[in-house]
């Protein structure tokens, strides 16, 4: 009897030891499995990225492209406001980042002074969308704003209708385009220089998403000679197109939109929009980080990178 009890205790002990060994093994492997799924590599650089404090889809796409490049090149991004009223831009020159990307929308003196301080400290800096006039040139990433105007005018010429009045609608949602309005309008004028006499009117919308809708009502009612309306913001484009549908005036004016979106493509297919100008902000954000990595690694990068402009039309969809 005692022999059977001893044998039972021995078997129980062996089973307990085996269970304990398996538990320890699983704990060790689960721990190592967890560490394998975490990228523990230290980022190569920490870059500061200064953009306007707006929820515009355009700038969200810039951030998305920048974050994609940051992941690919193993760098970390810290986003800040470029608004001169904010302390963030005022502290840029004394911060300690490995590189800086600025998205200016004017020639604000605070921003320029911070860029000069960064350059004096021999730290790499790049600007996107709107170039800055500094004593030492800053590499520029973005679309050629003169070509934006030419592309808009190209759509008008292709439409083969008499040009009476053209309205161009700038927006506070995309302030950098308004900052380069002279270049854009020069592109329009040069492209249409062989066209019969016409006039170009400027309008502006605020951050209010309904401004473009109200503007279309105003144009239809008070500006009967306007037959082309050019937009510089994606949300304004969508709001204006929907407004034309709501008041049953599709075709009364030709709308040239801005940006790429499923809704915009649908409006082009249905003839509500004549075309849309595409700049690809995600490409700008990606290229900005890529160029800054080159500048930080070697001290050299291209002085300017033109990310290109496309026209979305019905026959290209």
pLDDT per position as a tens digit, 76-85: 999 999 988 8
Rounded distance between C-alpha atoms, residue 14 and residue 303, angstroms = 73
Rounded distance between C-alpha atoms, residue 252 and residue 20, angstroms = 81
Strands 310-313 and 275-278: antiparallel
The SS3 of residue 88 is helix
Report residue 293's pLDDT band, with 50, 70 and 90 as the boundaries: very high
What is the structure's pLDDT at 3? 53
Selected residue with higher pLDDT from 197 and 214? 214
What is the structure's pLDDT at 161? 67
Query: Domain 45-142+281-307 belongs to what architecture?
Result: 3-Layer(aba) Sandwich (3.40)
What is the structure's pLDDT at 273? 97
What is the structure's pLDDT at 84? 82
**Average pLDDT estimate for 169-194:** 91
What is the structure's pLDDT at 38? 38
Residue 294 DSSP label: H
**Average pLDDT estimate for 216-235:** 95
Whether CATH 3.40.50.300 fits 145-278:
no
The segment(s) of the chain belonging to CATH 3.40.50.2300 are 45-142+281-307, 145-278
Closest alpha carbon to 169 in 105, 247, 233: 233
What is the structure's pLDDT at 4? 47
Kind plus residue range of the DSSP H or E element containing 114? helix 109-120
Sheet holding 310-313, edge to edge: 199-205, 165-171, 226-231, 254-258, 275-278, 310-313
What is the structure's pLDDT at 317? 84
Task: Answer left, alpha or beta for residue 224, where phi above 0 means left and psi between -120 and 50 means alpha.
Answer: alpha
Structure tokens at 14: 């062996």
- 255, 312 in Cβ contact below 8 A? no
Q: How far is CA 212 from CA 78, 94, 99, 173, 311, in A?
A: 33, 41, 38, 12, 21
- Angle between helix axes 234-246 and 57-72 (nearest 10 degrees) is 140
The SS3 of residue 204 is strand
Percent of the chain at pLDDT above 70?
87
**Average pLDDT estimate for 133-161:** 91
pLDDT digits (tens, 9 = 90+) for 20-61: 454 444 444 444 434 334 344 788 999 999 998 877 788 899
Q: How far is CA 136 from CA 57, 75, 309, in A?
A: 32, 26, 28
pLDDT digits (tens, 9 = 90+) for 237-270: 999 999 999 999 998 999 999 999 899 999 999 9
Question: What is the residue-wise DSSP string for 172-203?
Answer: TTSHHHHHTHHHHHHHHHHHTTTSPP-EEEEE
pLDDT digits (tens, 9 = 90+) for 85-115: 878 888 898 999 999 999 998 777 889 999 9
Q: Reply yes or no on whether the pLDDT at 11 is more than 70.
A: no
- 290, 73 in Cβ contact below 8 A? yes
What is the structure's pLDDT at 202? 96
Average pLDDT, the chain: 87
């Amino acid at each position: 009897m005692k022999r059977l009890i001893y044998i039972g205790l021995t078997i129980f002990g062996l089973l307990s030891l085996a269970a304990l060994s398996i538990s320890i093994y699983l704990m060790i492997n689960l721990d190592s499995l967890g560490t394998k799924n975490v990228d523990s590599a230290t980022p190569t650089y920490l870059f500061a990225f200064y953009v306007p404090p707006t929820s515009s889809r355009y700038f969200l796409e810039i951030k998305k492209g920048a974050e994609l490049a940051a992941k690919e090149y193993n760098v970390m991004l810290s986003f800040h406001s470029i608004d001169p009223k904010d302390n963030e831009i005022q502290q840029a020159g004394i911060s300690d980042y490995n590189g800086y990307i600025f998205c200016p929308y004017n020639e604000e003196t605070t921003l320029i002074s911070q860029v000069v301080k960064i350059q004096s400290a021999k730290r790499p800096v790049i600007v996107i969308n709107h170039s800055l006039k500094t004593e030492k040139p800053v590499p520029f990433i973005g679309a050629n704003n003169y070509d934006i105007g030419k592309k808009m005018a190209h759509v008008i010429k292709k439409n083969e209708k008499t040009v009476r009045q053209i309205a161009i609608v700038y927006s506070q949602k995309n302030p950098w385009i308004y900052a380069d309005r002279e270049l854009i309008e020069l592109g329009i004028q040069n492209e249409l220089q062989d066209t019969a006499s016409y006039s170009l009117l400027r309008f502006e919308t605020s951050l209010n998403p309904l401004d473009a809708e109200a503007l279309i009502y105003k144009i239809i009612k008070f500006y009967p000679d306007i037959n082309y309306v050019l937009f510089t913001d994606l949300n304004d484009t969508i709001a204006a197109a929907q407004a034309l549908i709501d008041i049953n005036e599709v075709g009364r004016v030709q709308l040239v939109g801005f940006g790429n979106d499923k809704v915009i493509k649908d409006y082009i297919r249905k003839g509500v929009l004549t075309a849309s100008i595409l700049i690809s902000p995600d490409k700008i954000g990606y290229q900005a980080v890529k160029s800054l990595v080159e500048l930080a690694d070697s001290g050299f990068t291209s002085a300017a990178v033109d990310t290109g402009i496309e026209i979305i039309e019905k026959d290209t969809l």
